[in-house]
Amino acid sequence: MITVDCAQLKLGDVISQDVLTPLGGVLFHKGRVVTMREMDILTAFMVQQVAIERGGAEAPPAAKSESKPLPHSGLTLEYDSMVALLKKAYGQVAGGAALPILELRTGLEKLLSHSRDYQVLSFSPRHVNQEEFYYHSSVLSALTCYQLAQWAGLPSKDWMQVAMGGLLHDIGNVKVDRTILAKPGILTSAEQEEMKRHTLSGYSLLKGVAALNEGAKLSALQHHERIDGSGYPLSLSAENIHPYAKMVAIADIFHAMTLNKIYRRASSPYLVLEQIQQDAFGKLDPSYVRTFIEKATQFHNGTLVRLSDGRVGEIVFTDRNHSTRPWVSVDGSIVDLSTQRRLHIEEVLS
């Protein structure tokens, strides 16, 4: 272990002692690998020195001039694999082959084995090609639905099926004209109608798959239904929408708005939560929305965030009545986001 000035840090260094904020919160725990993000955060908090391990760090610097590759978490690696697998499956189905359901389920099980490391507000995929939006949105929806099913108290036998519903809710897009999916402007009425048919196509593709229960299949059909009857394709009311589909609807909206699209940049996850909260009145299931927002924002004090004005601070208090607008300590001052409405959390850093 050695102590170095932050200006001397190298990518791949491993922090060997907890780094604290001025308020005594933990900025980084021991074992954190230094990337550009960690360097930016250390600079923002004006940390001067940190203790690190550098694999034989006692040797002269010249003897250790090679850079070492950055490790990636199991969650990230399995996520990338799942996106690639889903993309391949879409291609197979588009070509007329059967859905490789066993392969998809096996891949999803591997991904969900790392679900404890998944934080819906802070997880950021490494490689997001905007043209592959639907694959990323679907894999993220699977992760989010898996957690939401647990948070909502569904029996454990439902968790994987809800996740499969999230993973395959947009499978009907294989039947939609690619130019419509990628169109950067407003769709014509005819194009909108074709786009809406992806729900019917998705259910048609899944209804004969024995490995899926009816809730997972109905998620493809009903994830655009709204509890006031204003959704599509069947304008169903609340009692006729499957609970899985109600959960998938929340995940679908959240990830659709927090990922970059060809025609629109991603929105702040906290602003999206507020939008979902508003839509809960008459559109989305209010109990699932309440559970989703309360659990997704349950960060421990000391979580680092970037505000919409660019400043970096740490969450020091969260009022359950204003869970999307906690108190944030910035340079020793408290920013109460519940009263300073012009500001919001732009990004969760750690």
Tens of each residue's pLDDT in the chain, 350 residues: 899 988 888 888 899 998 887 666 677 888 888 887 788 778 877 788 999 987 544 433 433 333 333 445 799 999 999 999 999 999 999 999 999 999 999 999 999 999 999 999 989 887 777 778 999 999 999 999 999 999 999 999 999 999 999 999 999 999 999 899 888 888 999 999 999 999 999 999 999 999 999 999 999 999 999 999 999 999 999 999 999 999 999 999 999 999 987 667 889 999 999 999 988 888 999 999 999 999 999 877 778 899 999 999 998 888 888 899 999 999 878 899 999 999 999 988 87
Q: At residue 2, what is the residue type?
A: I
Residue 130 and residue 245 in contact, taking contact as beta carbons nearer than 8 Å: no
Q: What pLDDT score does 262 carry?
A: 63
Give the whole-angstrom CA distance, residue 63 versus residue 277.
56
Residue 170 and residue 138 in contact, taking contact as beta carbons nearer than 8 Å: yes
Q: What pLDDT score does 55 carry?
A: 59
Residue 297 and residue 306 in contact, taking contact as beta carbons nearer than 8 Å: no
For 18, the 3-state DSSP assignment is: coil
Residue 203 DSSP class: H
Helices 133-151 & 101-112, crossing angle to 10 degrees?
Answer: 60
Q: Name the phi and psi angles at 61, rounded to 5.
A: -55, -35
| Domain at 2-55, CATH class | alpha beta
Give the whole-angstrom CA distance, residue 39 versus residue 11.
9
Q: What pLDDT score does 59 carry?
A: 37
Give the whole-angstrom CA distance, residue 61 versus residue 58.
8
Closest C-alpha among 223, 234, 232 to residue 285: 223
Q: What pLDDT score does 237 carry?
A: 95
Strands (DSSP E) along the chain, which ranges? 2-5, 14-15, 19-20, 26-28, 49-53, 304-307, 312-317, 327-330, 333-336, 345-348
Domain boundaries, the chain: 2-55, 74-296, 304-348
Q: What pLDDT score does 23 carry?
A: 64
Identify the CATH number of the domain defined by range 74-296: 1.10.3210.10
What is the token pair recorded at 252? 């679908």
Closest C-alpha among 239, 237, 206 to residue 221: 206
| pTM for the whole structure | 0.81
